[in-house]
Structure 1
């Protein structure tokens, strides 16, 4: 692998409903061909959505944030491009013609799919499940929610916020929330 080339995020269009199957197929092909250094991450962005059933019970389910799309972090070579492009269920890369266009750093950051700076995991986090928090940054800044889950490894919390007229779970980084 060339030291000058850096893996970038690309968007791959798939048939509707085939996102997870495409992800699994590409992961298997990467492993069998030894391409782990070229295709490093595959993500089907999802979010937890709390829905109320007809009987009045709340039910949490995962919803795809970008239906029919898989995000791939890769270094474009003939072989890596071939593996992704010729996977069953893939219709192509997002970009003009057949040329893949990488996402900008701002787009990657806005999607929240990757943080380049490694995070130090420590236990000095002053959050507990059930704590009331306010979102400090991001699209829901100013919103108040309740901590449902804490992940010290990724330094994120699942926060239940009343968004769009219903309770919705969001994964938010510790530095973007503050305890009330």
Structure 2
């Protein structure tokens, strides 16, 4: 029956919603990338002690003013994501550093500004080729900093900004949904969506209750854990 065949092939409302959300995310990402390109300076990544990201942001802002290089260091940001975690049967919204151990800095790279950043307490190095500070592509920065659309209240946004944190946007997913899958720890996968799209990961943990997984991703030469769901990854054949 042609009608039955057509209905079998037609995407479900849920699939269509996912496609729409992904298309909207890509559209906003393109627009935000263009906005970033119009700002002065280049984006660099600095490595710091894990857990000290916000302190490094505060220290660096203060040092830039005190040492009078604020005309070269424009922006210091700690990107975070908000995720729903299931703890003791209760859903809880938690903030998680998207790049633990790293801080993003928009700056003009000159000797004075480089020294101010490099000598900031908690900073270990610039990320780059052979130890040289290397600018990050605007599109890559946009993936980490694209603001979440209408998700945070004005109060939350102000609190996050005060801490130097920026809540990023990712295609919507039901974080607490139960996922059935047959992935195993140690398996290599490719991430399909979000800030780490097209990046390879190795599954390191699987939550048997929710089906959520943690994968290790190589970011700037260091393995960093990121949360994954079966709907956003595929096996590497």
TM-score, normalized by length of structure 2? 0.47
Q: Quick check: which one's helix share is greater?
A: 2
- Of 105, 115, 130, 1:82 maps to 115
Change in CA separation of 1:148 and 1:8 when aligned onto 2, cut-off 3 Å: closer
For 2:174 and 2:82, the matched residues in 1 are separated by: 13
Is residue 146–residue 169 contact of structure 2 (8 Å, CA) maintained in 1?
Answer: no
Report the CA distance shift for 1:108/1:92 in structure 2 as closer, same or farther (over 3 A).
Answer: same
The aligned residue for residue 23 of structure 1 is: 57
**Which runs of 5 or more residues in structure 1 are unaligned?**
1-5, 115-126, 128-146, 171-180
CA distance in 1, matches of 2:127, 2:169: 31
Residue equivalent to 1:66: 99
CA deviation after TM superposition for structure 1 residue 164, in Å? 7.7
Query: Which deviations, in whole Å up to 9, do the C-alpha atoms of 1:64-107 show, x marking residues without a partner?
Result: 00110000000011110001011111110001233100011221
In the alignment, the residues of structure 2 paired with residue 104 and residue 71 of structure 1 have an alpha-carbon distance, to the nearest angstrom, of: 12
* Count of aligned pairs: 127
Structure 2: runs of 5 or more not aligned = 1-39, 158-167, 179-193, 195-237
User: In the alignment, what sits opposite 2:76?
Assistant: 42
Instruction: List aligned pairs for 1:1-180, cutoff 5 A.
Output: 6-54=40-88, 56-113=89-146, 148-149=151-152, 161-163=173-175, 165=177
In angstroms, what is the RMSD of aligned CA positions? 3.1
Alpha-carbon distance in structure 2 between the residues aligned to 1:149 and 1:76: 33
Larger radius of gyration: 2
Instruction: Considering Cα pairs closer than 8 Å and 6+ residues apart, tell me whether 1 or 2 has the greater RCO.
Output: 1
1:33-90 Cα shifts (integer Å, max 9, x gaps): 2222110100111011111221x22211110001100000000111100010111111
Provide the C-alpha distance between the structure 2 equivalents of 1:8 and 1:69, rounded to a whole number of angstroms.
16
CA distance in 1, matches of 2:69, 2:44: 16
Name the structure 1 match of 2:218: none
With normalisation by structure 1, the TM-score equals: 0.61
